Structure 1
Amino acid sequence: MAAEFVPGNRLTLLNSGEDYFPALLAAIDAAEVEIYLESYIFADDVIGHQVANALCRAAERGVQVNVTVDGFGARNFKFDFFSRLTVAGVRAMFYRPEIGRFHFKRHRLRRLHRKLVVIDARVAFVGGINVIDDNNAPFDMRPHYDYAVRVEGPVLRQVHHAVRRMWETVSWVNFKRRFRLAPVADPCCAAAGDQNAAFLIRDNIRHRNDILHAYLDAIDNAKHDILIANAYFLPGLRFGRALYAAAQRGVRITVLLQGKSDHQLFRYATQTLYATALAAGIRIFEYEKSFMHAKVAVIDGEWATVGSSNIDPFSLLLAKEANLVVRDAGFAGELEASLRSAMAIGARELLAEELSRQPIHSRFLRWLAYGLVRAMVGIAGYSQRHWQSEETKPEER
């Protein structure tokens, strides 16, 4: 399904938790009718408790507060927050809760990876930032580097519909019928600004490829510059071909990736792609200042996206994801300036001669990591053939 851009929005770019959490907490404290919050991680740290306290205060003053967390990413939530929140009147549920331990389950790869908050159907937050303190990381990886967007305007109708539908679906699956009887705030569709935006999700039915196709359309139409910053970058066949074609027609392509990773297997697998990308003229930078968790892109200074979707098979084919796509030179320019500044301060460019000096065993380990990741996709129910062909079905384009 193509992105449905709507005009009249006001979008505020938020850089990491330093910008995001003060804005989020202020909005929660101002809530009057309802709050929907979705997060993959809800950490037992300073930020987690600040957000939990704000949600409790809102519920205690009569706001209907609905919290959905992932059963694997936020598996601590049951012990750290659930009782306190429910006593205060917060309605909380798990998406695919973990049952049992110490054995592999295929469904662990099918996660609720969205980071969304909608308050009174009048303001929303969309991005890649979990409920976790920026400094909740090993010392040399602090602080987290990520983005979110504060959203006001007509595109809220799309965001509100998505969180409402997720809540109803999880309620039904968990037999929480009393949670399904919820009053609905009417989305505020009045113009709040002059920016064009579309809200995209990834699920397993109607919207399986929406985020992927938005990227591909933007790359296919790029004329000058493509700047992608993505924490976990392992594109499929169609995505890689689109980037290569753009490079061949003279588009300047820059990819910013993690230099410090919490998933070394993914990092090693991604590094198998470096030689081909550099040979095509694509510049690759690794962010080494701290832990980069961003999932953003800017194309031709006009098109931008901020969201939760990594460019890898797990995000693009398996997980529940959400991205905001923007057509606005002002917003795109602000995001690009922020990325360029971060790269100048904390990133290092990878050069072809570095790769040529890698020992044979190092190259072998990286290809082994790549093979393991592909095998994991197959175990989850997506074979290598499906991974490649899923992106090219014309009837779903």
Structure 2
Amino acid sequence: MKDWFLAAGERGNLATSIPDWSAGNRVEPLIHGATYFDRLATEVEALGAGDQLFFTDWRGDPDEKVRDAGPTIAELFCRAARRGVVVKGLMWRSHLDKFAYSEEENQHLGDAIEAAGGEVLLDQRVRFGGSHHQKLVVIRHPRAPERDVAFAGGIDLCHSRRDDAHHRGDAQAVQMSSAYGDRPPWHDVQLCIHGPAVGALDTTFRERWTDPAPLDMLSPIAWVVDKLRRADLSPGELPPQPPDPPVCGPHSVQVLRTYPDAHFEFDFAPHGEFSIARGYTKALRRARRLIYLEDQYLWSKNVSQLFAEALRANPDLHLIAVVPRHPDVDGRLALPPNQVGRQQAIETCRQADPDRVHVFDLENHEGTPVYVHAKVCVIDDVWASVGSDNFNRRSWTHDSELSCAVLDDTGEFARDLRLRLLREHLDRAEDGSEDDDLVDPADAVSAVIRSAQALQDWHDGGRTGPRPPGRLRPHQPERLGALTRIWAEPMYRAVYDPDGRNYRDRLRRRW
């Protein structure tokens, strides 16, 4: 484990009480929001009086349905609170709705849960321009710890997330770039975790909940508004933390986080925590054959340099990246800064060896681009990570993030996660009966390239004849003019991909 996971002291944050890692877990990837929401609803509906439901999120829409016939997120959590479940939530206070954020939605979800007897706090303890981006649900059964479960990954409790393998989008959609249509197809992944690691994720929630830093310390206007609407600004007492759940499986889990080095201090991370960046850095240095990743924002030169270094050091190493075809926004001002970062990141990787860097985007069978929101990385079919963090400097230094790295004795988890994702992207049988050219990493690279090129050739040929199987196409990086880059690059660095480290660590290029 010490070869891949961060060992004692390598986390860089001695103030936290979470363990280095937790062994003996059972971890299951839940691919697609519809799968996750259905499992979440099943677990929450089984909670009774005295059980505990804790959650953190970037955005929560109270009316988002967890199943076709309901209930909504608000109804699910409110019914639990009325049954006597201890429901506590931390939502990012968010920027204003008029800037396409979720201030009112997060507030309304919190108000509904509080009216039912739970407690939800709007948390603004972030760097200027930052956000709380963790997506976590922890469910504890103090009288039956073997039933404890936690969910962590990239899926928010909000609109547009409840899509499935057909990728025709969530009927309750958010507005995005017109390229994705009125009902944007959405690809995402969440982990379902049983075992002792649930205790580490419970501690992650409790550290933020009990920290004494004021919730709205950065905004006097927000403080006045919250006082006028009598918002809950004082966290209530949490029930005692139960012992860790019993050992139940073969997987070891390391909980990785980002907390910035801000002008205020968390007691549990007084100088921030960059264990996500450190965890990836350590794992990438061990990569020898294949780095497989899916990411919403592969757009940071700082991060892509790690991939480039790994490629230069290992001549047999390949990189496969699945990214969105288009950013989620349109507009002359918003679009170029989103494009310039990805262009720089891909160019940095390809400078190491263009023949070993393979970048694809995703579409459904109707040809509509699928928005890739997943944050997944699999290295050599041994180490896997799923979380809220994207491959950019913002996620690794500036916002609050949460990721879970997973190892097992045989590497089956990491390999099976990669195979499950590729089966869907290449239209292969779900039972693995068509995996012959996917199991070996070198063969998988060739298979993905062939499939994506066949689909691209079909499009280039006027889409005549049967559509080839598969949903991946070679990604064509955007080309921006020199004048656009002059203003887009500084805006990208300052606003879209800021640095949350102190100046000393920036100068030393240290996470």
Which bracket does the TM-score occupy, shorter chain normalised?
0.7 to 0.9
Tell me if the contact between 1:255 and 1:285 (Cα under 8 Å) persists in the aligned partners. Answer: yes
Which deviates more, 184-193 or 361-370? Answer: 361-370
Distance 1:152 1:194, change over 3 A: same
What secondary structure is seen at the aligned counterpart in 2 of 1:109?
coil
**Distance between the aligned counterparts of 1:320 and 1:187, measured in 2?**
26
Q: In the alignment, what sits opposite 2:289?
A: 224
Q: In the alignment, what sits opposite 2:135?
A: 115
Q: In the alignment, what sits opposite 1:330?
A: 412
Which amino acid in structure 2 is aligned with residue 19 of structure 1?
Answer: T
CA RMSD of aligned residues (A): 2.9
| Pairing of 1:231-270 with structure 2 (within 5 A) | 231-237=296-302, 239-248=303-312, 249-250=314-315, 251-263=317-329, 264=335, 265-270=337-342
Show structure 2 runs of 5+ residues with no match: 1-8, 12-19, 95-100, 142-147, 162-169, 217-230, 261-268, 330-334, 364-368, 427-469
- Which structure has the highest helix share of the two? 1
What secondary structure is seen at the aligned counterpart in 1 of 2:72?
helix
- Which structure has the highest strand share of the two? 1
Task: State the 1:342 CA deviation.
Answer: 4.6
Which amino acid in structure 2 is aligned with residue 317 of structure 1?
Answer: T
Tell me if the contact between 2:127 and 2:500 (Cα under 8 Å) persists in the aligned partners. Answer: no
Q: In the alignment, what sits opposite 2:83?
A: 61
Task: State the 1:201 CA deviation.
Answer: 1.4
Distance 1:44 1:179, change over 3 A: closer
**Distance between the aligned counterparts of 2:485 and 2:413, measured in 1?**
37
**Distance between the aligned counterparts of 1:306 and 1:191, measured in 2?**
21
Aligned mate of 2:104, from 76, 81, 84: 76
| Pairing of 1:1-397 with structure 2 (within 5 A) | 1-2=9-10, 4-32=20-48, 33-47=51-65, 50-72=72-94, 73-77=101-105, 80-96=108-124, 107=127, 109-120=129-140, 122-133=148-159, 134=161, 135=170, 136-137=173-174, 140=181, 142-169=184-211, 173=215, 179-204=235-260, 205=269, 208-237=273-302, 239-248=303-312, 249-250=314-315, 251-263=317-329, 264=335, 265-281=337-353, 282-288=357-363, 289-328=369-408, 329-344=411-426, 345-350=470-475, 358=479, 362=481, 364-366=483-485, 368-376=487-495, 388-389=506-507, 391-392=509-510
**Distance between the aligned counterparts of 1:247 and 1:149, measured in 2?**
29
**Distance between the aligned counterparts of 1:47 and 1:387, measured in 2?**
44
**Distance between the aligned counterparts of 1:16 and 1:40, measured in 2?**
18
Tell me if the contact between 1:260 and 1:292 (Cα under 8 Å) persists in the aligned partners. Answer: no
Distance 1:276 1:320, change over 3 A: closer
Task: State the 1:308 CA deviation.
Answer: 0.2
Which deviates more, 87-96 or 175-184? Answer: 175-184
Q: Deviations over 1:215-234 (max 9, x none)?
A: 11111011111112110122
Task: State the 1:293 CA deviation.
Answer: 0.5
Which amino acid in structure 2 is aligned with residue 113 of structure 1?
Answer: H
Task: State the 1:192 CA deviation.
Answer: 1.3
Which amino acid in structure 2 is aligned with residue 83 of structure 1?
Answer: D
Task: State the 1:213 CA deviation.
Answer: 0.8
What secondary structure is seen at the aligned counterpart in 1 of 2:323?
strand
The one of the two structures with greater contact order (alpha-carbon pairs below 8 A, sep at least 6) is: 1
**Distance between the aligned counterparts of 1:319 and 1:254, measured in 2?**
26
Task: State the 1:235 CA deviation.
Answer: 2.9
Distance 1:311 1:277, change over 3 A: same
Tell me if the contact between 2:397 and 2:500 (Cα under 8 Å) persists in the aligned partners. Answer: no
How many residues were matched structurally? 377
Which structure: larger Rg?
2
Tell me if the contact between 1:6 and 1:197 (Cα under 8 Å) persists in the aligned partners. Answer: yes
Tell me if the contact between 1:253 and 1:283 (Cα under 8 Å) persists in the aligned partners. Answer: yes
What secondary structure is seen at the aligned counterpart in 1 of 2:88?
strand
Task: State the 1:44 CA deviation.
Answer: 4.8
Which amino acid in structure 2 is aligned with residue 203 of structure 1?
Answer: Y
Distance 1:143 1:375, change over 3 A: same
Tell me if the contact between 2:121 and 2:233 (Cα under 8 Å) persists in the aligned partners. Answer: no
